[in-house]
Structure 1
Amino acid sequence: MSAAMSGDPDNKPSGSKRTLTGRCQCGAVKYEVADAFAYAANCHCSDCRRMTGSAFKPFAGIERDKMKITQSEESLLISGDEMNHDVRCRTCGSFLYSIVRDGGYVHVCLGTLVDDPTIRPTEHIFVGSKAPWYTINDHLPQYERHVFEGPPVKQ
C-alpha cells in the first residue's frame, strides 16, 4: 500500500501509538483518538453540507474503540439511532463526529482536531450532489457517490 493510501506522507507505519486530541469550539467537550485512521475523505453529500454549513465535510474514519470522550460526555447532543448517528456539543453546536457503518466506525470531523493528524483526505466522495457554487480545485480522485460504487468521475 502506498504512503498516500495509508494516510502517512512520510511512509511511517499507520499503526502509530500517537494520540490526538480534539474539542468543540467552546471547549466543553474534549476527546482523544488514535492517530491510526483507516481512511479520510471530503464528503460533498447534501447531508454533510447541511450538517457543517459548508461545501463539504472533511473527515477521517477509525474503528469506534479507538476514540473516547475525555471531558463532558453529558454535553453531547446525539442525532440518530444507536448504530448510526451524528454528535455535536450541546453548548456550542460544534459538529464533532459521526458513528457510522452500523456502529463500528467513527468519522471524526477533521476541523475539531487540536493536533495535526498524519492522514490527509485522499478523495472527494458524493460529488454527484456537491454544491453547484463550489469548484473542487485539487487533483484528488472524485467519486459520484462512494469510492466502492464505481470509477472516479475524473482523475
Structure 2
Amino acid sequence: MSHQTMPHRTLTGGCLCGSVEYAVPDEFLYALNCHCSQCRRTTGSAFKPFAGIERGKLSVTKGVESLLIFGNEDGHDAHCKACGSLLYSVVRDGEFVHVTMGTLVEDPTIRPTAHIFVGSKAPWYTITDNLPQHEGLP
C-alpha cells in the first residue's frame, strides 16, 4: 500500500496538567524549529518545534474553557490557563495552526526540516544538527 492511499491517523495532544486536550490528523504540511524571541519567551526554551496544518483540522476535545488566548482571532497563542502550556498558535491570517510538537502524545510522521529565525536565536544555544538554517523566514 503506497503512502498516498494509507488513511491518516489522528494524533492527540494536551497540556501538562491535563485540563486541555486536542486532536489533529497526522497530515501536517510543514514542520520547523523557530528560534525567534517570541517563541523562546512563550516556551521558555531555546526554540519552538512546531508543525503546521490548516486551522479547521485541529479540534480542542477537552477544556475549551481552560484555554488562555494571547492575541486576536486571526493570530494568537493558545495556552492552558491552569498550567501555562503553549499548545498551538493561530497564524497566517487565521488560516493555519502551528501545533507545538512537544504537546503531542503520539509521534507524528513529519519531522522539522529547518531552523528559522536563527538571526535572533539564543546566543547560549548551539544548533548541532545539519538542518538548513534561515536568518528569518525561508
TM bin, normalised by shorter chain, reads: over 0.9
| Cα displacement (A) at 1:119 | 0.3
Report the counterpart of residue 119 of structure 1 in structure 2.
110
Counterpart of 1:130, as a letter, is K
Runs of 4+ in 1 over 3 A off after TM superposition: 13-16
| Cα displacement (A) at 1:67 | 0.5
Q: How many residue pairs align between the two structures?
A: 137
Report the counterpart of residue 8 of structure 1 in structure 2.
none
Report the counterpart of residue 128 of structure 1 in structure 2.
119
In the superposition, the TM-score normalised over structure 2's length comes to 0.96
Deviation digits for residues 46-92 of structure 1 (CA, Å, limit 9, x no counterpart): 00000000100000000001100000100000000110000000111
In the superposition, the TM-score normalised over structure 1's length comes to 0.86
**What CA distance in whole angstroms lies between the structure 1 residues aligned with 2:74 and 2:5?**
26
Pair 1:120–1:14, CA change in 2 (3 A): farther
Q: Is the 8 A contact 1:29 1:73 kept in 2?
A: yes
Matched, 1:144 2:128: no
Report the counterpart of residue 43 of structure 1 in structure 2.
34
Gaps of 5+ in 1: 1-10, 148-155
Deviation digits for residues 92-145 of structure 1 (CA, Å, limit 9, x no counterpart): 110100000000000000000001100000000000000000000000000000
Gaps of 5+ in 2: none
The structure, 1 or 2, with the larger RCO (C-alpha pairs under 8 Å, 6+ apart) is 2
C-alpha RMSD of matched pairs (Å): 1.4
Matched, 1:17 2:8: yes
Write 1 or 2 for the structure with the bigger share of strand: 2
Report the counterpart of residue 85 of structure 2 in structure 1.
94
